[in-house]
Structure 1
Amino acid sequence: MKKTKMNIICMALLLATGVVKADVDTKAFASCASIDGDLSRLECFDSLAKKNKLDGPQSLKLDKTAMGDWYVDKKINPVDDSQTVTMVLESKSGKSKWGRNVGLVLRCSQNTTDMYITWGEYLGSEAKVLTRIGSEKASTENWSLSTDSKASFKRNPIVLIKQMLGQSKFVAQVTPYNESPVTAIFDISGIDNAVKPLRETCGW
């Protein structure tokens, strides 16, 4: 579980910064993720980050006790000093056919808010994603795809993120190409506090 969570966080942060956009990058990440030793695996991810110039300084000062299971990362772009805030949450249930947990990512970069889900397997040419917040009625929408078709991006996500505030459960379901549906359940408790840096950075 610890190894899986580390892999999801590293994958989400690499995707958030635009690294995982080609097969060679995906293969490089998969190679790191397959390493058994924690130290060796971290060294591999560090090497991948340095190769793609993502090893700059970062800072994070938040009350983690009020953030639930959210992982929040802040980075400063050395080119223009703009701040990127990335939030990552691992699913409590629901895995890909490879046994990997699903990851939910919220991000503010260059004054743009993104929300995407890393499913860990090929989705095909489209992603119809069913979502449900708390006890509200479920809805299905077409989400955009990442370049490797393994992650789905919510269009105009701010409204949905605001609906998640004050809630503790978020459900997402998608049907990968030629596979059975994958249903991921996230414990989003603490989102109100965890999302504050993102909202401040993106100004909403």
Structure 2
Amino acid sequence: MIKDIIEEAEKLEDQIQKLSTTEAELEANADEIRGLDQERTQLLSQCTNLSAADRVYLARHPKRPHITDFIDHLFTDFFEQKGDHLYDEDASIYGGIARYKGMPVTVLGHRKGRTMEENMKCNFGMPRPEGYRKALRLMEQAEKFGRPIITFIDTPGAYPGMEAEEHGQGEAIARNLAAMSSLHVPVIAIVTGEGNSG
């Protein structure tokens, strides 16, 4: 199963890290590191013809890149924008303005945490109505200024709690879908992990 392959690859990665903590160790252990890296690469090459359960496991793996990783590596001059300007801030939706290869863009996506504390703050990537309203605000702003919108999707779904329903969860999702279908700026959606409802 894929879980065993990933765990073994992580052990090899840990061994490589231990052998290369300093420049001197990296030089002294170069052959061993190269061998471990080849073994890890060969192990990961077995990740073909995955079952549905394996694909779900990979989509939910806690070490998958998060939206902040993509922003750090793909964009420059990122400026986060918070709040829905109506009620509250929802940390499970992360977005703002950035530059992609010099072009101004709006970046939006689901955010999950790496630790239990971060996950709780980000509601495990499950947006509340405030998050959808923040996303709508940023999309309308992108439309106004002619900025393309780049979205990163990684969510187990919309938050199903009573409070979310009381605050208009269904209406917020529907309003976003309607608004997105009438935008005149390009919208690129990238599924980076889970892609469930919401």
TM-score bracket for this pair, using the shorter chain length: under 0.3
Which structure has the greater CA radius of gyration? 2
TM-score (norm 2): 0.26
TM-score (norm 1): 0.25
Instruction: Name whichever structure is richer in helix by fraction.
Output: 2
Instruction: Name whichever structure is richer in strand by fraction.
Output: 1
